[in-house]
Amino acid sequence: MSEQEFFVEPDLNFIKDVQRAGGGDLKKCFQCATCSVVCNVTPDDSPFPRKEMIWAQWGQKEKLMSDPDVWLCHQCNDCTANCPRGAKPGDVFAGIRSASIKAFAFPKFMGTLLSSPGMAIFAWAIPIVILLIMISLFPTIYSILPHNLDPHSFFGELVNEFKVAGWGNMPAGPIKWTNFYPELGIDMTFITLLTLGIISLAVGLYRFWNTMKENHGEMGLMGAPVPNLLAAVPTIFAHKKFMECDESKNRYYGHLGVFYGFVGAFVTTAFVASQFWLLGMKTPYGQISHVKFLGNLSAAAIIIGGLVLLVQRATYKKSVSSYFDWTLIVLVLGLGVTGLGTELVRLADLKSIAYPTYFIHLTFVAYLFLYLPFSKMAHLAYRSVAMTFARQAQRDLVSAEEIA
Ligand code: SF4
Ligand code: SF4
């Protein structure tokens, strides 16, 4: 064996990122392997998290970033609760995931922005400024749209919404969100933000996949990614791996509520948008409509799930909660509470707080869309890709089939 093969070059910056993101006790590990023994979701062959603990201590950035096992962990903290040294392997894994998302980020500065508590104020200011700029542009947008349309036609009404929208020009009468932010303005703003978020996320996932492939090599990869992704979908949707937890089982209910709340909100939004553009049906829907019911149920699931996660984070003292964890909880609860709040203030006809509440809700949605690839929300996508790769590499089959 050559001298070169023994040479280990630590990446100190990556390790500092891991420590800042929750893995502050990683140096305490003395490699006893208790964590790998108690972990219910690790494959038997080359189990985690013991091996990753030594890689983290040695600053092995490339190994950690290309390791799908880091994402097969669901942070149940069974290992943390049993670690004799208090090295908190569950938190170290959470830190590695956050540091990896930062390293894969496109564009790079967004990863830095979203991972730095000191920059939180700027991160929140950006969506607010984008919305304010859009609102200030409504008169300009109105001036360049065609004005020869029948004002009572579908498109005529959409154009005229830009004439009255904004902070200071809202007519008297019932609260109507398009009097503040026109329907077309909503689509222009949020489709653009979501598109940017999806492009960035796709680049990050592509980098992640290639990093795993380079480390693993082409040999040993079975089948194509899509069938393997489809095979992993039931495990992802049922949150089966969360159910394997012993230590912090209630996180399963929190994640389930938030996950299905967002699925419901997505289905509601997609349905309303398709009805609007295909059939010209405008909001608000009646209080007893099935769409309204699904929307309210989704908001309730998001709020309840968010509260479960909040209580779990606040009361579970064996593990540390990082900036990423708290940002996720603020975002989830902010979206749920302001989403439901906009409906309640409209029904109560509280004009003085209705539009500010709606604006705050739009800020949370803009934050979600724009920062999708850089926040903890991206974990679902990274974890799905890792599970797909693990299946393709014949890595996750044993544990997946045992659990199915
Ligand atoms: S993290 Fe803890 S349980 Fe795991 S090998 Fe290190 S000391 Fe042992
Ligand atoms: S946190 Fe849970 S899933 Fe992750 S390594 Fe520890 S025991 Fe395994």
Distance CA 21, CA 204 (A): 19
Residue extent(s) of CATH 1.10.1060.10 domains in the chain: 12-107
Chain centroid, CA 313 distance in Å? 17
pTM of the model: 0.89
HEC profile of 3-53:
HHHHCCCCCHHHHHHHHHHHHCCHHHCCCCCHHHHHCCCCCCCCCCCHHHH
pLDDT category of residue 402 using cuts at 50, 70 and 90: very low
Residue 166 is predicted with a pLDDT of 82
Q: What is the pLDDT of residues 164-195, one digit of tens each?
A: 888 776 767 788 898 899 999 999 999 999 99
Mean pLDDT, residues 283-296: 83
Ligand 1 center to 382 CA (angstroms): 25
* Among 7-21, 27-41, 362-376, the least confident range: 7-21
From 75, 246, 318, 320, give the residue whose CB has the most ligand 2 atoms within 8 Å, as the site to mutate: 75
Q: What is the pLDDT of residues 305-328, one digit of tens each?
A: 999 999 999 998 888 889 999 999
For the chain, how many helices (H) and strands (E)?
18, 0
Q: Give, using CA atoms, the residue closest to atom 8 of ligand 1.
A: 32
Distance CA 165, CA 180 (A): 4
Q: What is the pLDDT of residues 36-51, one digit of tens each?
A: 999 988 988 889 999 9
Residue 59 is predicted with a pLDDT of 92
Atom of ligand 1 nearest to the CA of 36: 4
- Cβ atoms of 345 and 169 within 8 Å: the answer is no
Distance CA 103, CA 15 (A): 12
From 32, 34, 35, 39, give the residue whose CB has the most ligand 2 atoms within 8 Å, as the site to mutate: 39
Ligand 1 center to 25 CA (angstroms): 11
pLDDT category of residue 364 using cuts at 50, 70 and 90: very high
**Closest-lying ligand to the alpha carbon of 69?**
2
Whether the CB of 31 sits within 6 Å of ligand 1:
yes
Residue 215 is predicted with a pLDDT of 84
Q: Which CATH architecture has domain 12-107?
A: Orthogonal Bundle (1.10)
- Cβ atoms of 395 and 404 within 8 Å: the answer is no
- Single-letter amino acid code for the residue at 306: G
Whether the CB of 49 sits within 6 Å of ligand 2:
yes
Peptide bond into 284 cis (omega under 30): yes
Whether the CB of 39 sits within 6 Å of ligand 2:
yes
Chain centroid, CA 171 distance in Å? 37
Residue 165 is predicted with a pLDDT of 85
Mean pLDDT, residues 45-68: 94
Q: Give, using CA atoms, the residue closest to atom 3 of ligand 2.
A: 73
Q: What is the pLDDT of residues 327-356, one digit of tens each?
A: 999 999 999 999 999 999 999 999 889 999
- Cβ atoms of 42 and 36 within 8 Å: the answer is yes
Whether the CB of 89 sits within 6 Å of ligand 1:
yes
Helix axes 323-347, 108-115, angle to 10 degrees: 80
